[in-house]
Structures are given as C-alpha cells and as structure tokens.
Structure 1
Amino acid sequence: MTILVTGGAGYIGSHMVHTLVEAGESVIVIDNLSTGFSQYLPEGVPLFIGDVADENLVEGVIAAHGVDAIIHFAGSIVVPESMRDPLSYYRNNTMTTRNLLNVAVKTGVRRFIFSSTAAVYGNPDKTPVAEDAPTRPLSPYGSSKLMTEIMLHDIAPAYGMDFVVLRYFNVAGADPLGRTGLATVGATHLLKMAVEAATGQRSKIDVFGTDYPTPDGSCIRDFIHVSDLVEAHRAALDYLRQGGPSTTLNCGYGRGHSVLETIEAVRRASGRNFAVQYAPRRDGDIVTMIADTSRIRATLDWTPRYDDLATIARHALAWEEKLHHDRHGVERLAKSA
C-alpha cells in the first residue's frame, strides 16, 4: 500500500519522503509548491502539483495509488503572518484539512498522522508542558491547528479512523546528507535566519524581546532536529499499523535553549560574527516552551539521534552554504493527476 504525504516537497515533508523511501515504503506527494521545491524530492517519487483542498484531485490520487495512510504537512506556519491575516490560516489549515479528511473517510483511509504544533498550548502554566496541559493558543496559527485536532477526535470514533497528532516544538537543522533542508525564501525560523546572517545573506538578525522572565531575557525554545522529527512520524506510522489507538504526542527533546544561546551556537558553528538587533516583544510569541517527552518515548519506538544544539546548527549551516550552489537547479516535472 501507499502513503500520501501532503506538503511533501516542503521543509519537513521532503525529509519525511526521503525517510519513507529509505524504509522501502511506496510514497506519493501532493504539494502546490507555494513553499516547496520539487528538486529536493527523491527521484521516482510521484509528485502531483495541486491544492490539498481540491477533493477531486485528492480522491483521484488516493484511488489511483491505493493510499492507506496519510501524513499531513501541508499548511501555513508563520505566527506573525497569522496575526495579520487570520482568515487565510483558517482556510489553509483548518478548512483544507477538513476537505482532506472528508476524502480520507470517503475513500476508506484509516490511518492519519497530523502535523500540529506546541503553539496550541499558549503560555503554559508549567514547563515542561505535557499533552494534557490546557490548550490556550495565542495566535490564529495555533488556533487553526487546534481546530484540526478537535476534528480528528470527533472523526475517529464516528468513521473508524486512527490518528496520531504530533505537536512540534521548534523544528530546525537539515538532512545530514545534504539532500534537503529549509529553502523557503523569507522563512522566519530562528536557525534559518541565523545561518543566513552567518553566510552574509542578512545584514543582521532581530531578537524580539529581551525582557522576558528568563535567564538572559530572551524566549526559550525546545529545538528538535528535523531528521529526528520525521523519524517520530515513521515510528507513529508503525504504531498505527500495529493497532495502536489514536493519541497525541509532543515532539521535542525536553530541554530548552534561549534565542540568544541559539544565535551563539550558529556563531560558533560558522566561526563568524554577525549583527544582532534588539526589538520589542512580538504579539503571539510564547515565553518558554519545553516539551514533556515522557509520553512519546513510552508510546513510540523512537530514539533521537541529533539531540544537540551544536549539531543542529552545524547541519543548518551546511545546508545554507549548499543552497548557494544549487539555488538554480532545474525543477523536476510533476506528474499529472
């Protein structure tokens, strides 16, 4: 049987596709290429360019390829943008996923893995934050993801679907073999902006808020290497195939690094200094977000391999330097649905 990866040409999705192909899985991808890059997919993986909200497209792809599981990455992820344009986030994240789920139910797909976010927690009452903590998102981005989680909880008993919701903390790094990484122009990920500054593509990096109640005044995040994250998805798929019940799991390492510490890690990895500009706090930003990882470690056969900020920074930097050489690579032609 075949796994459908939505948003599979994007940052996390392309890592997922490489991991599944290496494991011998049959994989197909739907991506509108708004933030994805077809050249970073493995050769031979069918790519269908289109919108996951297009039910006719998705139904045709599922029927033609015998899809029995969906890993859903497609969506919008920028917190400040969601504050400026919340309706687009409810469309791209919540409504699109509703359409995808409708097709999954109609075509008999019974396994679904959803890319959610720690932003559903808002500012937690305590850290590390566990999966049963109150959900109080501070942004439309977080709210749009939480709405999808609610849909999944309703759909599972009604239609016999099993799911795993994976709540990402801060995803960073790149494929250690240099096959794919974060290539989106204007990306707002902290590590991405820092390595762009280290490679001279940015004149400075902005730090939003230095007066938070943290040791150095900047926000604290739990960074997880993208390769470890997609291995968690692969383990979640195995879990569902073995009959595991639907569940929600945090994806992090259980330790935090401040924004300023992260910038210093990139400086050390690159051996280069770059300017940092301090700016006021930004609406929607969470002060401290660290995962309680006890549930994922007890539930899945998953052991992180890259649980080290210096390694994450080094891989992100190597990918950014590689981008200078293949930025103008020829896009692969997509198959038609």
Structure 2
Amino acid sequence: MRVIVTGGGGYIGSVAVERLIAAGHAVTVLDNFARGHRASVHPSAKIVECDLRDGAATSKAVQGAEADAVMHFAALTLVAESVRVPGAYFETNTGGGLHLLEAARAAGITRFVFSSTASVYGEPESLPIREDSPKRPINPYGQSKWMTEQMLSTYADRYDINHAIFRYFNVAGATELRGEDHDPETHLIPVALKTLLDEQGQFTIFGADFDTEDGTAVRDYVHVIDLVDAHIAAIEQLDQPLGAMNLGTDSGFSVQQIVDAVERVTGQSLPITHGPRREGDPAALIADSSKARETLGWSPEISTLDQMIGSAWDWFQANPRGYVD
C-alpha cells in the first residue's frame, strides 16, 4: 500500500514510517520540519517538505503521492503553548487538517487514520475513560483536535472515507534508531532520563497529595511501537469505517512508580524535588482500550515500564544530542 505520513519527522510519525516500511508499504512523508527532524525519516521514504497550512501546496503534495491511505500525525502538541497562542493551534491542527482532508478527498483517497488525543475528554467524570465519555477539552490543543475529529467524521460520511481516530494518553519508548527529541521536552520519562544524562538539575514531582495509592498522579502509558502497530493494523483493515478508539494499557503508572523504574533501569539515583500540583491536573487518567482490542485484534505487547524506559534510555545514550539535521 502507498501511504502518506504527515509529521513523519516527528517522534511518533518517524516510528510509523519505520514500521510501515518494515511491513512492506511505500511511504511518502509530508512535513515542514519546523519541529520534526529530517534525520529521523527512514531513508527509503520519499520526503516532500510541505506545510499543511498551505492548502495549494498540500493539494499538490497529496496528488503527487498517488497514495492509497493517509496517516495524519502532523500537529502542534504543547498544551501550555496552546493556551498562550491558541490561534497557532487552530491554524495548524484544525486548518491544516481541513486542507489535508480536502486534498485527500480530491485525490480519491478512502483510507484515513488520524492521530488525536485524550485531551479531547478534558477532566473525566469516571475511569477508565471510554470513547463515548463526554468531550470537554479544557485547552486549545484538545479543542483543535476535537474539531478535527468532527471534521473528519463529516468528511467520512459525505465522501465515503473509511477512517480511524486514535486517542492517545501517554506514549513512551523508542526503537533502536528513533526516539524522542523535542525542544522543549515536556514528557515525563524523557525529562527524567535527560536529567540523568545531563547530570544537572532536578526532576520535579508536581503534587504528592493526590488521591492515589502513593499520592502522585497516575497516567496510562503505551510503548510507541505498540501505538504505531495499532495504526498499521487499522490502515490495513480500513475497508470499512472504524471510528474512534482509545490506545492505552487499561491500567496506569504513578509518577513515583516511574521514578522508581528509571532508577532501577538506569542504575542511577534521580535527584528529586517536589512542587505543587499543576492547575487542572487530574489524579488519574486511564484508558479503556477494549474497542481497539476487539476491533483490530490489537494489544500492547511491550508496554511495560522497564521496556519503555529501557528502550528510551538506550536511545538517549546513543544519541545524547538528539538528531543531527
């Protein structure tokens, strides 16, 4: 199958390209490389430098790819930044998504997989979070993704585009050649590992008084390989609409459990400091991913803390400065 991967220079997108090519698919990457890395793209993929905010350029790139399917990862993803500059998030995530949908429709592409987020749910009323839980995003990032979901559903109904929407909770880990290289880095596990790698600063635990077993916040983590494999399973099964699915492990790990695992895997002591809870930070976010399991026959095979942290640690040690573009 010929697959367009938007954001193929990003963390998850680059792993998707790697796994798609390993599975025998031909890949065209669309990325403006504003935050992604050209060096992270598999050498067998065709690269088209394209900004989805430019509708004409997006249409030309999609038509030229002669693709059977789209995997749409390209997005701005920093919650705090979305609060400061909401317009950039609606322009890139929602407006860019509309341009991509229009281009896919015009090119006759009927398979479309969208990378969404658990942020569409906002603060959940109950756990685990199901796909039919209320959608009340509390920041522009989540709002922009929810709006794109709604657009995709409308286009899918009107133009017979078979689609899958994946709502992520927390993603971690690396392959041998591809890992996380963000600036700034905001994800918990790489922040902890970089604290050890840089041998400076401290790792802050925000809140130790949550209503959880050890008082620290609990989140549902999935290995990036497991996550990407769900996307590949979906794109190969999109002879009918699949709808929205959560991706997680149906359980969670606390911040303290992650600290303990980081120290266990690396054999180093992580310098810790404690800070107050961050505003709007719920005690726990856990996915009900039974729909993905039942629909796709998918299950997270390597999403243990030791495997996620161990693979990320290996990648950071091999690439202490990240990608060299």
TM norm. shorter chain > 0.5: yes
24 and 328 in structure 1: CA distance in 2 versus 1, 3 angstrom threshold: closer
Paired position in structure 2 for 1:335 = none
State the SS of the aligned residue for 1:187: coil
Q: 1:56: how far off?
A: 2.1
C-alpha contact 1:198 1:267 (8 A) present in aligned 2: no
Instruction: Quote the Cα distance in structure 1 between the aligned partners of 2:284 and 2:273.
Output: 21
64 and 116 in structure 1: CA distance in 2 versus 1, 3 angstrom threshold: same
Aligned pairs (5 A) from 1:1-337: 1-175=1-175, 178-200=176-198, 202-240=200-238, 243-324=239-320, 327=322, 329=324, 331=325
Q: 1:272: how far off?
A: 0.8
TM-score using structure 1 length: 0.92
State the SS of the aligned residue for 1:152: helix
Instruction: Quote the Cα distance in structure 1 between the aligned partners of 2:281 and 2:312.
Output: 23
256 and 89 in structure 1: CA distance in 2 versus 1, 3 angstrom threshold: same
Amino acid at match of 2:179: G
Instruction: Quote the Cα distance in structure 1 between the aligned partners of 2:201 and 2:215.
Output: 23
State the SS of the aligned residue for 1:48: strand
State the SS of the aligned residue for 2:124: coil
5+ long unaligned stretches in structure 1: 332-337
Q: 1:277: how far off?
A: 1.8
State the SS of the aligned residue for 2:237: helix
Instruction: Quote the Cα distance in structure 2 between the aligned partners of 1:328 and 1:128.
Output: 36
Q: 1:328: how far off?
A: 6.7
Instruction: Quote the Cα distance in structure 2 between the aligned partners of 1:301 and 1:49.
Output: 35
Q: 1:314: how far off?
A: 0.6
Aligned residues: 325
Bigger relative CO (Cα 8 Å, ≥ 6 apart): 1
Deviating runs (4+, > 6 A) in structure 1?
none
Instruction: Quote the Cα distance in structure 2 between the aligned partners of 1:27 and 1:87.
Output: 31
Instruction: Quote the Cα distance in structure 1 between the aligned partners of 2:94 and 2:279.
Output: 22
Q: 1:140: how far off?
A: 1.5
Q: 1:84: how far off?
A: 2.1
State the SS of the aligned residue for 2:310: helix
State the SS of the aligned residue for 2:269: coil
Amino acid at match of 1:78: L
Instruction: Quote the Cα distance in structure 2 between the aligned partners of 1:255 and 1:266.
Output: 19
Instruction: Quote the Cα distance in structure 1 between the aligned partners of 2:222 and 2:323.
Output: 29
Instruction: Quote the Cα distance in structure 1 between the aligned partners of 2:90 and 2:296.
Output: 31
Q: 1:202: how far off?
A: 4.4
State the SS of the aligned residue for 2:210: coil
C-alpha contact 1:207 1:276 (8 A) present in aligned 2: yes
CA RMSD, 1 decimal:
1.5
C-alpha contact 1:83 1:284 (8 A) present in aligned 2: no
Q: 1:126: how far off?
A: 1.4
297 and 281 in structure 1: CA distance in 2 versus 1, 3 angstrom threshold: same
110 and 194 in structure 1: CA distance in 2 versus 1, 3 angstrom threshold: same
The sequence identity of aligned pairs, in percent, is 38
86 and 226 in structure 1: CA distance in 2 versus 1, 3 angstrom threshold: same
**How big is each residue's C-alpha offset from its partner over 1:85-118, in whole Å with a ceiling of 9 and x where there is no partner?**
2222112211111111111112211111000011
Instruction: Quote the Cα distance in structure 2 between the aligned partners of 1:293 and 1:126.
Output: 15
207 and 295 in structure 1: CA distance in 2 versus 1, 3 angstrom threshold: same
Q: 1:303: how far off?
A: 3.0
5+ long unaligned stretches in structure 2: none
